[in-house]
Structure 1
Amino acid sequence: MKTVAWIVLAVSLACTAMFVMTGLTDDTELPWLNGWMAGPVILLFVVPTLFRVGGMLGGGTAKAYRDAPIGMGTVVSVSRTGLSINDQPQLEIVLDVDTPDGQSFRGVARQIVDLTELAMVAPGAVLPVRYLAGGPERKVVLAVGASQQEMQAALNRVQLAKGTMTQKQLMIAEQGIDTQAVVLAMVPTGEIRGDRAVAHLTMRVTRPDGSTFDLTQEKALAASTVPQVQPGAVVRAKYLPHDESEVVVVTALAR
C-alpha cells in the first residue's frame, strides 16, 4: 500500500508542477481551470489517505517481522478498527502469546481478515504469530506467510516449553515417519492438565508396508484439537519405525 502511495505522490507532484506552469503561461480568462488541476487535488486529498491506510495496514512494519521468530497466540478478544479494504474488515486481535523459549506475553495484531475466515480468529483460537523483542505487551503480526513446517516446528517447541510435549515426543515429531491413523476410540478421563482435557486415545496406525498396529495412549488435548480426534477420524501421525510404543498425532494448524 505504501508503494502505491509513493507512486501516486510522484505522479501528483508532476501533475501539480504542470498545473502551475500552465496556469502561469496561459493567457485565457481562467488560466487555472485546466486538465492538470487533478494534480493538486490528488496531492491534497488522496495521497494523505493512501499513506494513512498504508500505515494502518502495516506497510513497512511487516518487513521487520519477515524473519522474526514464530510463537503461538491464543486469541483473547477481537474487535473491528473501522477500516475495511474491498469490504474486508481490519481487526484488532489481542492474543496471549507463548514462545518456543518459554516466554509468554500479551500481543496485539492488526490484520485485514477475509470475511470467510472470521471464524478462525474467534476467542480461544490458536494462531501462529511473528514477534519482536519488547515489553510485556507489544505488537505482533499473524504468520500468514510461514510454511506449514515452520509453524509446526514452532508449535512443537512451544508445547515442549509448556510441558505438554516430552522430549521423546519432540524427537518423534521431528524424526518420525509420516503416516495415517484411524481413531478407534476417544475416552475422556475427566482429568484437566492446565487448559487441556486428558483422554485415552485408541488408534489403528498404518505402517509403511500397509500393515497396521493398534495403540492406546493417554493424550492431553487442547480444545481446538478435540473435534479432530473423534472416533472414525483419519489423522496424520508420526512414529519411530523401531519403536511403536508411542505415536504423535499431528493436528491441523490454523494459517
Structure 2
Amino acid sequence: MFTWILRIVWFALSAFLVTRIYESLFSHDQTTSIFPFASAIGEVDVAFLVAGVFWGLLLTFGLFSNSIGSALRSTSPGPGSGPAQIAPGTIVEVRRTGLTVNDVPQYEIFLEIEPIDGEPFVSSLKQLVDAAEAAHLQPGGLLAVSYSEANRDRIALADPQSREVEQMMLRWRISHGLILPELIAARTRGVSQPASVLALRPTGERKAGQVQVTARLLVMPTDGTDQFEADSTIFLHPEALSRVQVGSPVFAMYEPSRPDLVHMTIQRQETLA
C-alpha cells in the first residue's frame, strides 16, 4: 500500500514538472501559470526545483521499494498475508540485478526453502549486498527466511540471532540427520561449556551440503569440575571449517551425567525449548 502511495505522488510530480516545462516553452503569456504557487517564467522557480528533487528521490527509492525493502531491513511478510513462518533456505543461484544504491549492488537470491513440516519450494528475494558479504553468498549456503503460506513468492531474511531462528535451525538439523542420534540429548538438553580444539579429522561423509568431522576437544567447565578430553562428531558447513582449527575456542554441550557424549558448537547455543 505504501508503495502505491509513493507511485501516485511520483506521477503527480511528473505531471507538474511536464506542465511547467510545457508552459516555459510554448505558453504565450510567460508571466502566468495554471499553478498558483509556481513562479513566473524567467524567475527562479522554487516549486519546480523542489518538485524535481523529490521526483528524483522517489524514482530512485520509492518505485523500487518492493525490491530493496528487504535490503534496508529484515521484515516478515506484510499484514494480511497470514502468520509468518520461519524456515531454512538453501542458496540455489545468485544474480546481480543491475541496481546499485550508494555503490552497493543488489542481488537476487534464489532459495530452495525447506519447511520442517511441509514440502520444499523455490522462491527468491532481492537484497543489497556489499562485496564482503557477497563472497559468502554461494550455492549450497544456508539462510533463514520468513514467509507466509498465503504468499510464498514474498520472502524476507529472518534475524539469524533471534531465538526463534536458532530453535528452528536446530529442529531442522535434527530432522535432516545432521546431529547424530546419540548426541541429540546432549545438544537439546545439555549444558554448554567452553572448550578448545586439540585435533580435527574429516570422516569423508557429506550430508545436506555439509561435511562431517570428528574433533578432539579439551573441555574446560566453569563450574569447578576438572577439565577433560572428549571426541565430538558433527556436521559443519564447509565455510565454517576455517573457524574450527587446532586451538580454536569452541563450546561443548553435554549432559552432566554423560560427559562422554559431547556435541561441539562454534558459538554458545541454547537448548531446545
State TM-score, norm by structure 2.
Answer: 0.71
The AA in structure 2 aligned to 1:188 is: P
**Could you say which residue in structure 1 is the equivalent of 2:112?**
96
> Secondary structure of 1:64's partner?
coil
Unaligned ranges ≥5, structure 2: 17-32, 269-273
| TM-superposed deviation, 1:168 | 6.1
Does residue 86 (structure 1) correspond to residue 102 (structure 2)? The answer is yes
Q: 1: CA distance between counterparts of 2:212 and 2:93?
A: 26
2:126 aligned residue (89, 110, 122): 110
Quote the residue 1:178 is aligned against: 192
CA distance in 2, matches of 1:250, 1:19: 70
Distance 1:223 1:103, change over 3 A: farther
* Cα separation, 1, equivalents of 2:107 and 2:230: 43
Q: Tell me the TM-score normalised to structure 1 length.
A: 0.75
Separation in 1, partners of 2:247, 2:196: 6
Measure the CA separation in 1 of the matches of 2:55 and 2:65: 16
Alpha-carbon distance, 1:210 to partner: 5.5
Q: Residue 178 of structure 2: SS of its match in structure 1?
A: coil
Instruction: Output one character per residue of 1:141-178: Cα deviation in whole Å (capped at 9) or x when no partner.
Output: 222x4534333212111111212225664443343222
Task: Specify the alignment match of 1:38 in structure 2.
Answer: 49
Q: Deviation of residue 90 (structure 1)?
A: 0.9
Cα deviation per residue 1:191-212 (whole Å; 9 max; x = unaligned)? Answer: 4445443333221112221521
Cα 1:119/1:180, change in 2 over 3 Å: same
Question: Structure 1 stretch 50-59 or stretch 33-42: which is displaced more?
Answer: 33-42
One-letter amino acid matched to 1:183 = V
Contact residue 185 and residue 201 of structure 1 kept, 8 A: yes
The alpha-carbon deviation at position 57 of structure 1 amounts to: 1.3
Identity %: 25
Report if aligned partners of 1:75, 1:95 keep a CA contact under 8 Å in 2: yes
Q: Matches of residues 2-81 of structure 1 in structure 2 within 5 Å?
A: 6=6, 9=9, 20-22=35-37, 30=41, 34-38=45-49, 40-41=51-52, 46-58=57-69, 62-64=75-77, 68-81=84-97
Distance in 1, matches of 2:108 and 2:37, equals 47
Cα 1:252–1:97 shift into 2, 3 Å: farther
Q: CA deviation at 1:107?
A: 2.5
197 and 147 in structure 1: CA distance in 2 versus 1, 3 angstrom threshold? closer
**Are the counterparts in 1 of residues 179 and 234 from structure 2 also a CA contact under 8 Å?**
no
How far is 1:102 from its partner? Answer: 5.8
Pick from 237, 245, 249: which aligns with 2:260? Answer: 245
* Preserved CA contact (<8 Å) 1:98 1:105: yes
In 1, the alpha carbon distance for the partners of 2:197 and 2:156 equals: 35
Counterparts of 1:45 and 1:231, CA distance in 2: 55
1:128 corresponds in structure 2 to 144
CA distance in 2, matches of 1:198, 1:234: 19
Change (3 A) 1:130 1:171: farther
Of 216, 219, 237, which aligns to 1:222? Answer: 237
Aligned-CA RMSD value: 3.8
Q: 1:190 maps to what in 2?
A: 204
